[in-house]
């Protein structure tokens, strides 16, 4: 009698776990590329960014929406960190890049954007995020004096620059391949 009861309880538990696993798995695999809800959420966040009235907490919904996509979740992680330090212009750039990725499925290739984030993250002591951005730039091929000058300075040990240069880097055009 005890074994029969235990088997029934085990079967019920397995069915419950299966239902829970299926519902969680299905929700976490919602496609990011082309997702209009995510695009709308990015649009919604642009107003508080523009008015410089945005915090890390404002990105909770977006964080959940993109968690199934490695690239998008990495971008949102950077944007949340930028919000922590009130780097509003860089939040806007990040949201723009994320929007393009969600809309097209193509990650923009922007060495200037990456280098500007390298400097911003380093300024705030976020060394891991700074290194990630630098590594991405190092894997690109480009012919741009501003990028080369900045990389040469970094390689020589000078890891700081002016706010003017950071802005120039951030505003530099993205590459097209």
Instruction: For residue 16, report the phi and psi dihedrals to the nearest 5 degrees.
Output: -60, -45
Task: Let me know whether 40 and 100 are in one domain.
Answer: yes
Q: 42 near 99, Cβ under 8 Å?
A: yes
Classify residue 7: in a domain, yes or no. no
Task: Let me know whether 99 and 148 are in one domain.
Answer: no
Q: So what's the pLDDT on residue 4?
A: 63
Q: Count how many domains the chain has.
A: 2
For the ranges 27-36, 97-106, 144-153, the lowest mean pLDDT is seen at 27-36
pLDDT digits (tens, 9 = 90+) for 115-165: 999 999 999 999 999 999 999 999 998 888 999 999 999 999 999 999 999
Q: So what's the pLDDT on residue 143?
A: 84
Q: 112 near 169, Cβ under 8 Å?
A: yes
Classify residue 119: in a domain, yes or no. yes
Q: Could you give the 3-state DSSP secondary structure of residue 126?
A: coil
Between CA 55 and CA 27 the distance in angstroms is: 26
Q: So what's the pLDDT on residue 142?
A: 85
Q: 140 near 175, Cβ under 8 Å?
A: yes
Specify the pTM.
0.79
pLDDT digits (tens, 9 = 90+) for 37-95: 999 999 999 999 989 999 999 999 999 999 999 999 999 999 999 999 999 999 999 99
Classify residue 21: in a domain, yes or no. no
Classify residue 99: in a domain, yes or no. yes
| HSE value, Cβ hemisphere, 13 Å, CA-based, for 163 | 3
Between CA 125 and CA 23 the distance in angstroms is: 39
Residues facing 175 on adjacent strands: 109
Q: Pick from 104, 124, 158: which residue ends a domain?
A: 104
Residue 167: give the domain boundaries: 111-171
Residue 19: is its pLDDT beyond 80? no
Rg (CA), the chain: 21
Task: Let me know whether 148 and 167 are in one domain.
Answer: yes
């Amino acid at each position: 009698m005890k074994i029969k009861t235990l088997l029934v309880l085990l079967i019920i538990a397995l069915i419950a776990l299966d239902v829970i696993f299926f519902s969680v798995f299905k929700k976490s695999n919602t496609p990011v590329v082309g997702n209009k809800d995510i695009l709308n959420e990015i649009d919604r966040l642009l107003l508080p960014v523009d008015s410089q009235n945005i915090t890390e907490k404002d990105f909770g919904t977006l964080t959940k929406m993109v968690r199934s996509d490695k690239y998008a979740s990495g971008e949102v992680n950077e944007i949340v960190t930028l919000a922590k330090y009130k780097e509003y212009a860089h939040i806007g750039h990040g949201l723009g890049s994320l929007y393009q990725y969600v809309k097209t499925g193509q990650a923009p290739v922007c060495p200037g954007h990456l280098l500007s984030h390298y400097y911003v993250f380093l300024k705030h002591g976020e060394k891991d995020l700074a290194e990630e951005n630098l590594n991405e730039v190092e894997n690109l091929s480009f012919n741009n004096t501003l990028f080369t000058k900045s990389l040469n300075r970094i390689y020589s040990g000078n890891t700081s620059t002016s706010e003017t240069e950071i802005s120039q880097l951030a505003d530099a055009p993205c590459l097209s391949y």
